[in-house]
Amino acid sequence: MSTPTKKIMGIDTIDPREEIAKRESARATITSDLAELEISPETLNPKLLGGLERLAADSNFYEHSQHTSLGLQNVLKNFGASPETIHDARFAALLHDSGKTGPPGASPAEQKTILDLYNINVPYDTDADYNSLKVGDVARNTARLERCGIEPQMSIRKFWDNHSRWTSENLQAHPEGISDEVRILAASHHAYKKDPICNPYQLETKGFPFALKAMFAIDNTEAAFTRSNLSLPEAIARAERIINKNAELEKDPEMQNIFKAIKDLAEQGNFLLGELHVEKGLERKVA
C-alpha cells in the first residue's frame, strides 16, 4: 500500500487526515481482534500496539497475521487442541510479524522505512534473487536503516530473517499482557530455518511445540497464497517444500500429519479466510 502524499509548494508531505484515519481504522481492527481473544488493549504496552497499528495501516502483514490466526484456529481445532492452546496460538499469530517494524528502539520514521523495505515483494522462493540482492540496491533511506544496524551491503535474505529477532526483542521490551508461551511461539515462527537469527530462543527441532509446527505450516501457506497469488493447494505444496528443507521436520510425523490435515481441510473450504466446522470423525489427536 503506498502512502498518500500531497504536493505542497513542491514538497511531498503525508496528508495528516488520511494518515489519522488509517491509524484509527487500524486500531479499531486490532481492538476487535483482541476482543475475540478476550484481551483488552489496555493490558498491552502502547508501544507494542503502536507497532501493530503501523503494520495494519502501512502494510498487508497485519492482514496476513489475521489469516494466519484464523488458519491456526481451524487446524488446531481439527486436532482437538485445548482452548488455551488455541488462544495462545491465535494471539501469537497476531504478534508474529511485529518485528517487521524493526527493533524496539526504532523511531516512527525508522519503523516506516524498515516496513517499506519489507513491503517490497521479493520473490522469496527464488534463492538466487533473494541472496544476491542487497539492502542498498532497493532501500531509499539507507542512513535511517544504518541507525538500526541494517548495513547497505546486508543481503535482503539476511534483512528478511532479522524480523524474527526483532519480534522477540519487541515482545521482551514490551512484555505486558504477553505470556512466555505466546512470546516464544510468536518469535520462533521461522525456527525451522538454519540461521540462528530465525530461532531466537534456540529451540531444538525435537522440542518444537505442536502449535509452533502448525504455525510454520499456516504462516507459509498464507504467505504463498496471498503474496504469490497461488491457489490454496499450490500454496500448501509450496509451504511443505519450504519446511521440508529442514530434514528433521521432513521426517517428523506431527509435521506430516499437519500437512495431511490442512490438505483435507482445504477441500472443505479456505481455512485462512473463514471458520470451518470440523466434521465428526475428522478430528485428529494432537499427540
By CB under 5 A, name the binding residues for Fe ion.
97, 219
Secondary structure element (H or E) that encloses residue 6, with its range:
strand 5-8
CA count, 13 A, side-chain hemisphere, 159: 33
Among 41, 159, 160, 22, which Cα is nearest to 95's? 41
d(CA 251, CA 284): 19
Q: Which residue's CB is nearer to Fe ion, number 77 or number 190?
A: 190
- Residue 2 is given by DSSP the state P
User: Look-up: residue for cell 507459509?
Assistant: 220
Output phi, psi for 252, to 5 deg: -80, 120
Give the shortest CB-11-to-Fe ion separation in angstroms. Answer: 35
Q: Which residue's CB is nearer to Fe ion, number 53 or number 219?
A: 219
Kindly tell me the sign of the dihedral angle through the C-alpha atoms of 210, 211, 215, 217: positive
* Cell digits of residue 191: 525456527
Give the shortest CB-7-to-Fe ion separation in angstroms. Answer: 35
Q: Which residue's CB is nearer to Fe ion, number 26 or number 95?
A: 95
Kindly tell me the sign of the dihedral angle through the C-alpha atoms of 135, 137, 140, 146: positive
Amino acid at 59: S
Give the shortest CB-207-to-Fe ion separation in angstroms. Answer: 20
Q: Which residue's CB is nearer to Fe ion, number 245 or number 251?
A: 245
Secondary structure element (H or E) that encloses residue 144, with its range:
helix 142-147
Partners of 6 in the beta sheet? 13
Give the shortest CB-276-to-Fe ion separation in angstroms. Answer: 21
Q: Which residue's CB is nearer to Fe ion, number 5 or number 125?
A: 125
Q: Are 260 and 219 in contact (CB under 8 A)?
A: no
Give the shortest CB-157-to-Fe ion separation in angstroms. Answer: 13
Give the shortest CB-52-to-Fe ion separation in angstroms. Answer: 13
Q: Which residue's CB is nearer to Fe ion, number 227 or number 284?
A: 227
Q: Which residue's CB is nearer to Fe ion, number 33 or number 219?
A: 219
Give the shortest CB-223-to-Fe ion separation in angstroms. Answer: 6
Q: Are 100 and 169 in contact (CB under 8 A)?
A: no
Give the shortest CB-63-to-Fe ion separation in angstroms. Answer: 11
Output phi, psi for 191, to 5 deg: -70, -10
Q: Which residue's CB is nearer to Fe ion, number 160 or number 210?
A: 160
Q: Which residues lie closer than 8 Å to 95 by C-beta, 6 or more apart?
A: 48, 52, 65, 167, 171, 178, 182, 186
